Amino acid sequence: MVKKIRFGLIGKNISYSFSRKYFDKKFSELKLNNYTYDNFDLEEIDEFPAVIGENLGSIQGLNVTIPYKLEVFKYIDEIDDDALVIGAVNTIKILDNGQLKGFNTDVYGFEHSLKPLLKKHVKSALILGTGGASKAVTFVLNKLNIAYKYVSRNPKNNETYSYDELTENVMMDHHLIINCTPIGTHPNSDVSPKIPYQYVTDKHFLFDLIYNPSETLFLSKGKEKGAIVKNGLQMLELQADKAWEIWTT
């Protein structure tokens, strides 16, 4: 009997997930008929050790998504240097000795999705949201020497604006706006982050980490103002390919 090689996704309410379809297609194209990719939908992160224990020996790698990119840290034996700095893990490799090593491939995906459309005049950014997704974004912005401020409903320090503080001057000083919140995700695609879209111009670049729908209301409103817009699909594809590279080398 051919041994089954398993991969999967750790998250909560992930039936919609991009990852399983993506990897199922990859396995089919590569004719890896004994490879499978499963969703492990966990109500709490405390269920994670049981997933590992029940599948040890067959499972070789996992992706991690909302809301566990930070919480999974306590179960990882070794953390890649970049993931340690970022403070979030979205890829786990199960080593030959059974230990778990954590990586962050969101960084690779975001950087290589962002850079081709980045204009030279873009020197500062607004990051909508302060959760796990924003951590990979800030890592890349630091690398690219792009200054940034967070935007949150409940700002906790002077590095963060409230949405009410986004004046015309603030918007004109920050030409890159990155949505790291889930606002606008299907099926709630009739809402968008409450930024003052009247101050968006053709000098702006709106990047949405959401990929479903392909054009969120956030992006649609930006496009109406002539802004460059991009969704999170390519970022997802690139981070998934990077995860595959980690698992298979």
The closest alpha carbon to 109, from 210, 245, 232, belongs to: 232
How many CB atoms lie under 10 A from the CB of residue 162?
11
- Site of tokens 């101050």: 199
Instruction: Determine which one of 69, 93, 101, 242 is catalytic.
Output: 69
Q: DSSP string spanning 162-219?
A: -GGG--HHHHHH--EEEE-S-TT-TT-TT------GGG--TT-EEEES--SSSS-HHH
* Catalytic status, residue 156: no
Smallest CA-to-CA distance from 10 within 38, 32, 33 is with 38
Biggest CA–CA distance in the chain, Å, is 66
| Cβ proximity of 205 and 175 under 8 Å | yes
Q: Which helix (H) or strand (E) holds 148?
A: strand 147-151
Known catalytic residues?
A: 69
